[in-house]
A = this chain, B = another copy of it.
Amino acid sequence: MTANFAASRVAFDLPEGVIYLDGNSLGPLPRAAVARVQRTLREEWGDMLITAWNRAGWMEMPRRLGDRIGRLIGAGPGTVVLGDTLSIKVYQALASALEARPDRRVILSDTGNFPSDLYMAEGLVRTLGRGYALRTVAPEAVEAAITPEVAVLMLTEVDYRTGRRHDMARLTAKAHAVGALTVWDLAHSAGALPVDLAGTGTDFAVGCTYKYLNAGPGGPAFIYIAPRHADLVRPALSGWLGHEAPFAFDLDYRPGAGIERMRVGTPPVVQMTMLEAALDIWDEVDLDDLRARSIELSELFIAEVEKQAPQVTIASPRDPQIRGSQVSLKFEHGYAAMQALIARGVIGDFRAPDLIRFGFTPLYTTDADVAGAVRILGDVMKTRAWDDPAYRRRSAVT
């Protein structure tokens, strides 16, 4: 018997008549976030003005919230800090890892990685020059490609397109065996499944908070550094809030203690308070219960899709152990099909060229949601509802 998430579902303000299966892209609004933001605006910013940096604890939030995220990803207190965007955090982690392996020049990644991670690595190796290079292989070829040339193995645990999950423990061990370091992107892991950063011995990890963690659009990213590295790395993005004494206004940079040095500029306070409200919900969640329920939901979805929508192909791994908390379907007219689904109140999303994605988020997704979504998908397929020119018009975010 899996745990009951009825209590967490009511913590979200979900619109009537919508089945939301895109929490893997943008989590929904936690009810408490509205009042929390009001308080931040009126009682903190409005009333305390500049003094709120101290009096309302704004300055400490990136570290304080980092500890709360740490619990969800198997990271000890003082090893995670919030700030910036995931892309920036990737750059910081990679630059630090490369510097810790000065005799090596290769970043190894895979073609299933989120493109922005690859782009940031490209920009970094170009900035570094001196023969630094990004090498990408197919996801299934990663293990064999971990050779002693590799300085850093940079992977996203759960593939954003298919939900395919890498074996973090195994690949980290392999990397360490050849003397390489690891940077794991947890964008589709944090809040989706149990992560054990300390247990796997991962060196660096990064992630975002606006997907499964429900911090809202553009919520801050996070970065983890294993304690054995944290006081050794020298930040490439050496901003004042990562300085040992930001308010001494020294002319020279001296890195702050441990993970603090990964802070850069002034943190986005209001987005931080939204994250804080979202984390209140997470504090009650057991990750193993969550994972069991997520598998239950995605298995139900797959079984029903096979019955009711034979026109589509399951693009995600069938083995739930190597699948994250989403299921992707391959369909030639995927873009238009997703538009047709959205018009009928089922919100997932589309990833080029032909994948439609559905995220399962036990905090608020029910069996009835899954059943309803598949029923409507079956109907869209049977009636060829996607074959409507209105659904083929592309917009900016697809």
Contacts and interface: CB of A to CB of B under 8 A. Distances in A.
Given A15-B49, A37-B270, A42-B34, A129 B130 contact: yes
Contacts of A253: 118-119, 122-123
B235 A123 contact: yes
Contacts of A47: 15
Contacts of A42: 13, 29, 34
Contacts of A237: 87-88, 91, 120, 123
A349 interface: yes
Contact of A268 (B250, B268, B347): B268
Nearest to A127: B236
B86 A251 contact: no
B266 A208 contact: yes
A41 B33 contact: yes
Interface string A200-244: 000000001010000011111100000000000011111111010
A135 to B, nearest CB: 12
Interface in A8-22: 13, 15, 18, 20, 22
A6 B61 CA distance: 36
A147 interface: no
A395 B136 CA distance: 47
Q: How many copies does the complex hold?
A: 2
* Central interface residue in A25, A217, A248, by most chain B CB within 10 Å: A217
A266 B111 contact: no
Contacts of A398: 247
Interface stretch (A50-58, A290-298, A374-382): A50-58
A51 B342 contact: yes
A128 interface: yes
Contacts of A270: 37, 216-218, 270-271, 274
Given A115-B240, A129-B129, 14 more contacts: A29-B41, A29-B42, A29-B45, A50-B349, A54-B395, A54-B396, A84-B85, A116-B240, A119-B253, A124-B127, A161-B249, A217-B270, A218-B271, A271-B271
